[in-house]
Amino acid sequence: MLPFCLEPGLEACVLYKDGKWLAFNRSCPHAGIDLLVGGDIEDLSELNAGVVVGCPAHTYLFDPVVGTCLWDASRGLPETPPLQTYEVSERCGQIWVKPRPLPKPVAKEDWDQAAPVRPVRLLSHGL
Ligand code: FES
């Protein structure tokens, strides 16, 4: 994981995982813990969630592509704001990032508490 600074006080990181570039803010949207210090990039494919970012403080999970909070301690509809993520491209031997628009909150009627990861991920990708 490589850290970078977008502007004073706004730090993010970029990493290459399974053939894809991922970039997101280092500060967890829940309470500001640094995701680069003790945070996890986990493959939860067995739960149909794909790669997720896990925060070390309260174990909330975020989609590193669109930023949606996939799980928070409420065990209901996640109330945590999304993680700012970035489009990543390689040009002329350099890595470029561009902020992605933040995803819309998940509607209550679209949330399935029995399967808290998959429905949000599918909706966040517009599938
Ligand atoms: S600060 Fe990240 S889950 Fe609480």
Q: Which residue has the higher pLDDT, 22 or 76?
A: 22
Entry pTM = 0.81
Give residue-wise pLDDT tens across range 8-59. Answer: 888 999 998 888 899 999 999 999 999 999 888 888 878 777 889 999 999 8
Going by CA atoms, what residue is nearest to atom 1 of ligand 1?
31
Residues 6+ apart with CB under 8 A from 91: none
Is the CB of 60 within 6 Å of ligand 1? yes
Q: How many angstroms is it from 75 CA to the middle of ligand 1?
A: 14
Domains of the chain: 2-124 (2.102.10.10)
> Rounded distance, CA 60 to CA 28, Å?
9
For ligand 1, pick from 28, 53, 71 the residue to mutate: most ligand atoms within 8 Å of CB.
28
Alpha-carbon gap, residue 3 to 65, rounded angstroms: 17
Mean pLDDT of 66-79: 80
